[in-house]
Structure 1
Amino acid sequence: MEKTCETNGHIDKYPDHTVCQVEDAKNKTKAGKNCAQFLRKNAIVILTVSGVLVGVGLGTAVRSMNLTKAQMTYFAFPGELLLRMLKMIILPLVVCSLISGAASLDTRSLGKLGGIAVAYFLVTTLMASGLAIALGFIIKPGAGAGALNSNALGIETTITTNKETVDSFLDLARNLMPANLVAAAFRSYVTDYVTYTKNTTDGNVTMERVPVGLEVEGMNILGLVLFSLILGVALKKLGPEGEELIRFFNAFNEATMVIVSWIMWYVPIGIMFLVGSKIVEMGNIVLLVTSLGKYIMASILGHIIHGGIVLPLIYFAFTRKNPFTFLLGLITPFATAFATSSSSATLPTMIKCIEENNGIDKRISRFILPIGATVNMDGAAIFQCMAAVFIAQMNNHELNAGEIFTILVTATASSVGAAGIPAGGVLTIAIILEAIGLPTNDLSLILAVDWIVDRTTTVVNVEGDALGAGILHHLNQKDAEKNQQELNDVYVEAVPNCKSEEETSPLVMHRDQISNPQNISVPESKESVL
């Protein structure tokens, strides 16, 4: 049976079907090239998402094997390697990117962008806190949970949270000004207390708690961020004398990003074992979900509303662009955030993807993202406010307007100081509870399910940073176009009028005089008649 092939609108018969086969082969080759190009372009994204899914399946399968603690440690080793690599690169990435970013922007635009960034961080965090409190009063996660206690759920109560609220804020200020920059790379300042006994004149003994400072393990990221910004501005002010050091930090920064690109190929493997090991290690998930299910649901719902509706609407209001198209290019950082539960560990992949996939200006991304990873914690604010409302309802404590306002302000401020590490926001809840006079011994319940909620918390944190960078990039481009338009308007005014060539002025020059350097020996000045 003969087949036909349509060519240029005419149907011809080809017994051997040669032309049809050639055309089919060309179409298949083109489709194959497009498919290969798509896979090559999105290889890391596909592998990362696959790593999460395979990790869930692997963890479920290994969980039934009843591994010992030592075997669990060995099983989690590949994931631990990923965390160590990401944490290794944080210090040079933050310091070099902030110094080069601050030095590449002039002081006027740096102050303007910094002001917009601070306003964006403050407003979004306040909105997140308000949303969490509203959901807490609507869902009432702590209602009827008064019978819960950590012993009934088999939770270890090893949390000590006897820190005064004022000392927490003073520690935040102290960490902004580290006494030793080298020590700030691996230590931060915290307040502890020493109790003294005093004998009074009437024979009574009084006890006095005195705050004392301690240096504990953990990078003082706030102090490093502030110093890097100040150093970048200072190098910019030096002019030619500071250019060599600026070039050094720029080169260091680019080399760091090359290392990040290498690490990203290991991310899918590390994520697979991070997710799998967490599923193997978790306790009786059914008991925890049934006991604290309303709290978990309310917290995750708050993250979904803020991350899926509020933040995209803010981005759309400023840029008039589709926020979900923007977020589509950041699947790898979001998967990393979900697996590691660390904003700081997600920072290297976020900077890499937001520049390559979304085209954000390097000066903007490397200036705003390290700051956002430190101070912008929308997800943490939701988590902390929901926990405070949950504990208040569990203890049958009716929150009044003053206490609600205290929760809003304290959660916004304490989320700034929350460490960008797994479970970094749990202990900061103690500041809120102390501020409104609630007991802190119920924090063990929050810590028991923190590993669940902390994953969506981190995703919302890094999403807020990314959308903030996108807004700043748009505003910076808009401002640059406006300035360029003003310059063009001024330049057009200086175009000469051919009817007035006899009238000259040394103040206005012709366009052709500037563009022809050969005529420099015979300068000619002409003025336009306006």
Structure 2
Amino acid sequence: MSHPCSIKFSKAEDTQARNLFPSNLVAAAFQTYATDYKMIIRNKTLGNATFEKVPVGTEIEGMNILGLVLFALVLGVALKKLGPEGEDLIRFFNSFNEATMVLVSWIMWYVPVGIMFLVGSKIVEMDDIVLLVTSLGKYIFASILGHIIHGGIVLPLIYFAFTRKNPFSFLAGLITPFATAFATCSSSATLPSMIKCIEENNGVDKRISRFILPIGATVNMDGAAIFQCMAAVFIAQLNNAQLNAGQIFTILVTATASSVGAAGVPAGGVLTIAIILEAIGLPTNDLSLILAVDWIVDRTTTVVNVEGDALGAGILHYLNKKDAQKSRQELSEVYVEAVANCKSEGEMSPLVTHRIPASTPSSAAEPEATESVL
């Protein structure tokens, strides 16, 4: 009788919770933890066999994005807690980020040529070109529809829930910034026009607009987050990959984190899709298809980004104005009444004397004291 044998499953399932805490940060840059499975045959007697599926932890090729992002967040909080001592390292990372963006801007000059060859190779590899074009059309439609729902329903409802005002009348004064965002695909290029229109047309306090809008142009990228999730799911379906619950959660978390760090320039969110694809184990060479149609999707993405910034400034302006009115109302209700006390005459200045008028039948039970200065 043969001895028990084991059969190894070819499909590996990522353990997302384990990847949040990498054992080695250097190894996390090119390896990630995954759960593999082995099928072990037990009780192989009298022709009957019992199969048992046993999970086995292993390291596979691929960047551990979740662990690196979590470490970066914790390190950022620690540097902030250090105060002046951590500013040197913060300046180093800022300079490194700016240098990286300069390199990316140089690379973007050669992107059209690269996209042409990448898309050409992808078309040659496809067995059904019509299926590829149809899939790209569905991706474009789904992305634009998601932006319409978020920008036309979700964001206005949030504004109405806080202010109880018509959000579309607020957005009507921002037609020029929205047109600029649609034409340039850049949140940073829209910033001067947005500040001018939101202060002059909507009456937002300049202290609020000039604080919120520059931060929102870099941090608040809800349109980019929607677009990145759509792109990741599209590439997964293109490769016939079934996404489990852990991978979907990873897409949501990674898209939110990477959209915060995305640059407010055209095609700035496409580069961060590679981070999401690495996190869920999908090939990054399919990004050429996303880049080929990004000039369409990026327009609605930028419009939703700047709309979220504007509505956020409007909500903060309303809440600040409401608190100021409440404070003024509380101050107007405070009255200070001073009543002279004749019993404390000995403790007062000798220059002040009190005369108590004779009580009359119509006077109150306790006479009022009048003061005179000698």
User: Where on the TM-score scale, by shorter chain, does this alignment land: which range?
Assistant: 0.5 to 0.7
2:149 aligned to which of 286, 300, 305: 305
Structure 2 segments unaligned to the other structure (5+ residues): 1-61, 80-86, 106-118, 121-129, 345-351, 355-367, 370-374
Q: Does 1:431 align with 2:275?
A: yes
Q: Answer yes or no: is 1:347 the counterpart of 2:191.
A: yes
Name the SS for the 2:240 alignment partner.
Answer: coil
Q: Number of matched residues?
A: 252
Give distance in 1, aligned partners of 2:342 and 2:273: 76
Per-residue deviation, residues 231-252 of structure 1 (Å, max 9, x unmatched): xxxxxxxxxxxxxxxxxxxxxx
Aligned-partner Cα distance in 2 for 1:447–1:504:
88
| Counterpart position of 1:177 | 90
Matched AA of 2:103 = V
Scaled by the length of structure 1, what TM-score is found?
0.43
* Alignment partners' CA distance in 1, 2:133 and 2:205: 43
2:98 aligned residue: 188
2:103 to 190, 199, 216: 216
- Within a 5 Å distance, the mapping from 1:223-262 to structure 2 comes to none
Tell me what 1:33 maps to.
none
| Larger strand fraction of residues | 2
What residue in structure 1 maps to residue 241 of structure 2?
397
Secondary structure of the corresponding residue to residue 419 of structure 1: coil
Q: Per-residue deviation at 1:501?
A: 5.0
Q: Scaled by the length of structure 2, what TM-score is found?
A: 0.61
Are the structure 2 counterparts of residues 501 and 167 from structure 1 closer, same or farther at C-alpha, using a change threshold of 3 Å? Answer: closer
Aligned residue in 2 for 1:89: none
Q: What does the per-residue CA deviation read over 1:290-336, in whole Å, with 9 as the maximum and x for residues that have no partner?
A: 45110000000000000000000000000000000000000000000
Q: 2:319 aligns with which of 463, 472, 475?
A: 475
CA offsets 1:335-369 (integer angstroms, 9 cap, x no match): 00000000011001000100000000001000100
CA drift of 1:479 comes to 1.1
Letter in 2 for 1:216: L
CA drift at 1:179:
2.5
Q: Which is greater in Rg? A: 2
What is the rounded CA distance, in whole Å, between the counterparts of 1:215 and 1:342 in structure 2?
16
**Residue of 451, 459, 468 corresponding to 2:303:** 459
Question: What is the letter of the counterpart of residue 332 of structure 2?
Answer: N
Preserved contact between residue 379 and residue 460 of structure 1 (Cα < 8 Å): yes
2:258 to 406, 414, 419: 414
- For 2:224 and 2:342, how far apart are their aligned partners in 1? 69
Q: Which amino acid aligns with 1:296?
A: I
Question: Given the superposition, is the C-alpha separation of residues 348 and 501 from structure 1 closer, same or farther in structure 2, using an over 3 Å criterion?
Answer: same
Taking the aligned partners of 2:187 and 2:153, their CA distance within structure 1 comes to 21
Structure 1 SS opposite 2:103: strand
AA matched with 1:382: I
Compared CA separation, residues 425 and 504, structure 1 to 2 (3 A): farther
User: For residues 450 and 436 of structure 1, what CA distance do their matches in structure 2 show?
Assistant: 22
Q: Closer, same or farther in 2 for the Cα pair 1:297/1:502, shift >3 Å?
A: same
Does the Cα contact within 8 Å between 1:188 and 1:217 map onto a contact in 2? no
SS in 2 for 1:473: helix
Contact 1:164 1:431 in 2 (8 A): no
Report deviation, 1:177.
2.1
> Superposition pairs for residues 261-280 of structure 1, below 5 Å?
none
Deviations 1:77-130 (Å, cap 9, x if unpaired)? xxxxxxxxxxxxxxxxxxxxxxxxxxxxxxxxxxxxxxxxxxxxxxxxxxxxxx
Per-residue CA distance 1:122-148 (angstroms, 9 max, x = gap): xxxxxxxxxxxxxxxxxxxxxxxxxxx
1:319 is aligned to 163
Bigger share in helix: 1
Indicate the structure whose relative CO is greater, using CA pairs within 8 Å and at least 6 residues apart.
1
Q: Report if the CA contact (8 A) 1:376-1:461 is conserved.
A: yes
Q: Structure 2: how far apart are the matches of 1:504 and 1:433?
A: 85
Structure 1 contact 380–415 (Cα < 8 Å) conserved? yes
Map Cα deviations across residues 246-286 of structure 1 (whole Å, 9 max, x no partner). xxxxxxxxxxxxxxxxxxxxxxxxxxxxxxxxxxxxx99xx
Deviations 1:199-244 (A, max 9, x none): xxxxxxxxxxxxxxx97366xxxxxxxxxxxxxxxxxxxxxxxxxx
Cα contact 1:426–1:446 (8 A) shared by 2: yes
Return the letter of the residue paired with 1:321. K
For structure 1, the 5+ residue unaligned runs are: 1-161, 191-213, 219-282, 506-521
1:485 Cα offset (Å): 1.7
Quickly say closer, same or farther: Cα 1:436–1:291, change in 2 above 3 A. closer
Which of 208, 213, 216 lines up with 1:372 in the alignment?
A: 216
Whole-Å Cα distance in 2 between the matches of residues 450 and 180 of structure 1? 29
Q: CA deviation at 1:170?
A: 7.1
Identity of counterpart residues, as a percentage?
75
Q: Which residue matches 1:253?
A: none
RMSD: 3.4
